[in-house]
Chains A and B, each alone.
Chain A
Amino acid sequence: MASREPKPSPCPSAAQFAATRWTIVVAAADDKGGAASRRALEELIRAYWFPLYAYVRRQGSSPEQAEDLTQSFFTHLLEKKSLTHVDRSKGRFRSFLLAALKNFLADERDRAVAAKRGGGRQFISLDTLEAEARYPKELADAMTPERLFEHSWAITLLNQVLLRLQEEYSEQGKQDVFQSLRHVLDGQTTGQSYAEDASRLGTTEGAVRVMAHRMRRRYRELLRAEILQTVADEGLVDGEIHYLLKCL
């Protein structure tokens, strides 16, 4: 799992994340070496494998086949065979990953999938049951595989961020606060009173308001930080959000 970020400070900046994982990978593309680069790539894949699975599934594979293919793809990636694609993706891990996956699948089709399984080594464990459960069947049929990939990417990203936020709150012993107030994050309950939450948490409405404000703010910081991990620089974060909004 990713390393822990320091406690929330009033002014987070890109500097807190000294080098995003994606920039590490990109920087190492030339010399194809470096354990750091590989570790960074592993971490990224660990977080974002689901959109890949969804794409492969949508292409027509069964759950088992999809799992196989996805695993092989990871092996392939981590063995540094495909980092030459990096410069074409305009600094986004998402684009890079999809392009690499497409190329891999095209190659694999030529080679008849079943035989190759990367020698039994599994870098990333895929929970097929979980993957299949998350696969949005109805929605998927209405989309192209690319669109599904991006849609799943957005959802996965949001889940990641929520998970991190939850972990942060748990670490501070505020698990109950998170559970009670998570509903404020998307703005659907703005304008309603916090009376219920206040009584559940045993505090005043005013205090709850402040807590909610803080949580929303921290969530936003984490969201931007997470996106930053997958793009080359801060300036691309907004663009990525806009793009993903279109894919939902």
Chain B
Amino acid sequence: MTEQNKCANCGLPLPSSAPGGLCPACLLKRGLETNTAGYTDDAQPLARWTPPTVEQLSSLFPELDILQLIGRGGMGAVYKAREKQLDRQVALKILPAEIGRREAFAQRFAREAQSMARLSHPNIVTIHSFGRRSAAELAGGGDLYFFIMEYVDGLSVRQLLDAGTISPKEALAIVPQICDALQYAHDRGIVHRDIKPENVLLNRAGQVKIADFGLAKLVGLTAPAASEPAAGAKAAPGETPTITLAGQEVLGTPFYMAPEQKEWPGEVDHRADIYSLGVVFYEMLTGELPKGKFEPPSRKVLIDVRLDEVVLRALEKEPERRYQQVSEVRTQVETIIETSDMKNRDLKPLNRLTASPIPYAYIIVVALVVTAVWGYFADIISGEPEWFLPRLVVTPLLAVAIWWLVVRLMINPSGTPAATATHGHEPAPHYQQVSEVRTQVETIAQTAGGERIGPVPAVEPHFSRTAIVGAIFAGVGLVTIALLFLSLLA
């Protein structure tokens, strides 16, 4: 039998009746609800739950102006809303009704939601409030559990991936922010458990916001069953629902799960998040998922080879062999960023200025020439030739020293620390990298959302040409002053 073509995306064989040569399974899957500012996930336990309509919710939440449904998935539905009193935009997340009906859910919710809400970090979607409302006619005689969260105006990494490749620079701007968020949460004992591109949001300023921290644990999603259940199979009451399979394929999420998360869901610790981060990192760099025997990213994309190590170590099957802390990942990535050619070329004009030998050579030559000429007239003609040589030696050295001092002084007080070596863990992002992310996000968001947003002021800390030329002239001027000074001494 001849080899059948396989779909490059899902791996299923392409039938001869494939519409337009496209994979029917992938075409169909596109119809599922996944695309809206990352508030949804691909995991669909049953897809039978119809989220409440905007009208229904309006009566349930009188303090909010419910604007529209912006996403839905197995973990709930999200609506864009406006808090009337505070006049601010929020996102309202409603959990599926059947989850609320499970035994002992109420106590768990109260406990878990509280710790989720305590997370306050610039890279984590803030939870403003949570609770439940009784909605007899909606939830079929139960309560509707909800979260009110920060509204992120932007896109998810999934949408960026769908729209085209993310450049390595953008990926390197995003990853450290994810690390920050994860480390913060891990320090407080919270594991995300469901890191994936759909949950990593980017606002229009290019800032990362991670959504659904700890939600997976609350909702109790476990790894998928390997067999094929019938569509419509319901989880027994009290049991945790499983992500059912449709056809032979898993829909989305479990691919980002660490191996230990799939085998022993109860024994998972923060290192599972590191694995998921590795998968997302790989996908951002290469556009593909690390499946089976996959190639290191540097073989697929033009990036620093040292990044391979970071990604591969994060993707280690055994948790002990991975990074043990997310902050380690961040440090590694930042070290690579700083010491790679890429960064030196683009991000350190000032260090280049002091490091490069060109201005020094220029100054020395000028100083020598000027000193020689001046010395000729001042010393030789005036009859004191013994001063000529010392002057010739000292003046250039003095000029160089003054030049170095001047440039250094010009760097520090102007307050552009981002352009110099960045050490430590500042919460501020690397501007030049993030501005590219922002441009990308804006381009897509503008055309996707149809709204015109005003230009966001760019932060570009580099030195203009005039400043550099000015510095050189100032240096030369100082040489002259030094010469005169020496003459006075003589």
In the bound complex, do residue A210 and residue B8 qualify as a contact, i.e. CB atoms below 8 Å apart?
no
In the bound complex, do residue A188 and residue B246 qualify as a contact, i.e. CB atoms below 8 Å apart?
no
In the bound complex, do residue B444 and residue A227 qualify as a contact, i.e. CB atoms below 8 Å apart?
no
Q: Which of B210-253 contact A (CB under 8 A)?
A: 228, 231-232, 246-247, 249
In the bound complex, do residue A139 and residue B15 qualify as a contact, i.e. CB atoms below 8 Å apart?
yes
Name the contact of B26 in the complex, choosing from A11, A186, A233 (C-beta under 8 A).
A186
* B439 (CB) vs chain A CBs: closest residue: A206
Interface of B toward A, CB cutoff 8 Å: 7-9, 12, 15-20, 22-33, 35, 44, 47-48, 50, 68, 159, 161-165, 228, 231-232, 246-247, 249, 286-288, 443-444, 447-450
Residues from chain A with Cβ under 8 Å of B31 in the complex:
220, 223-224, 227, 237, 241
In the bound complex, do residue B448 and residue A246 qualify as a contact, i.e. CB atoms below 8 Å apart?
no
Given A216-B162, A241-B32, A242-B47, check contact A210 B15 (CB 8 Å).
Answer: no
In the bound complex, do residue A185 and residue B29 qualify as a contact, i.e. CB atoms below 8 Å apart?
no
What are 25 of the A-B contact pairs (CB < 8 Å)? A139-B16, A152-B17, A182-B20, A185-B22, A188-B7, A188-B26, A190-B9, A190-B161, A191-B165, A191-B286, A192-B165, A212-B163, A212-B164, A213-B162, A213-B164, A213-B447, A216-B162, A219-B30, A239-B48, A241-B28, A241-B32, A242-B246, A246-B228, A246-B231, A246-B246
Interface of A is mostly: helix
CA distance A138 to B1 in the complex (A): 11
Residues from chain A with Cβ under 8 Å of B44 in the complex:
238, 242
Q: Which among B16, B17, B286 has the greatest number of chain A C-beta atoms within 10 A?
A: B17
Residues from chain B with Cβ under 8 Å of A243 in the complex:
231, 246
Given A186-B26, A220-B30, check contact A10 B450 (CB 8 Å).
Answer: yes
Given A186-B22, A188-B9, check contact A245 B163 (CB 8 Å).
Answer: no
Name the contact of B163 in the complex, choosing from A192, A213, A246 (C-beta under 8 A).
A213
How distant is A7 from chain B, measured CB to nearest CB, in Å? 12
Name the contact of A213 in the complex, choosing from B32, B246, B448 (C-beta under 8 A).
B448
Q: Does A209 contact B (CB under 8 A)?
A: yes
In the bound complex, do residue B17 and residue A210 qualify as a contact, i.e. CB atoms below 8 Å apart?
no
Given A238-B33, A242-B44, A245-B246, check contact A158 B287 (CB 8 Å).
Answer: no
Given A239-B47, A246-B247, check contact A182 B22 (CB 8 Å).
Answer: yes
Residues from chain B with Cβ under 8 Å of A185 in the complex:
22, 27, 30
CA distance A139 to B161 in the complex (A): 34
Q: Does A80 contact B (CB under 8 A)?
A: no
Given A188-B7, A210-B163, A212-B164, check contact A217 B35 (CB 8 Å).
Answer: yes
Residues from chain A with Cβ under 8 Å of B288 in the complex:
191
Residues from chain B with Cβ under 8 Å of A212 in the complex:
163-164
Residues from chain B with Cβ under 8 Å of A201 in the complex:
none
In the bound complex, do residue B164 and residue A194 qualify as a contact, i.e. CB atoms below 8 Å apart?
yes
CA distance A216 to B26 in the complex (A): 12
Q: Does A124 contact B (CB under 8 A)?
A: no
In the bound complex, do residue A214 and residue B22 qualify as a contact, i.e. CB atoms below 8 Å apart?
no
Q: Does A146 contact B (CB under 8 A)?
A: no
* B449 (CB) vs chain A CBs: closest residue: A10
CA distance A158 to B286 in the complex (A): 30
Q: Does A170 contact B (CB under 8 A)?
A: no
Q: Does A193 contact B (CB under 8 A)?
A: yes
Residues from chain B with Cβ under 8 Å of A69 in the complex:
none
In the bound complex, do residue B247 and residue A220 qualify as a contact, i.e. CB atoms below 8 Å apart?
no
Q: Which of A146-198 contact B (CB under 8 A)?
A: 152, 154-155, 158-159, 162, 182-183, 185-194
Q: Does A234 contact B (CB under 8 A)?
A: yes
In the bound complex, do residue A158 and residue B50 qualify as a contact, i.e. CB atoms below 8 Å apart?
no
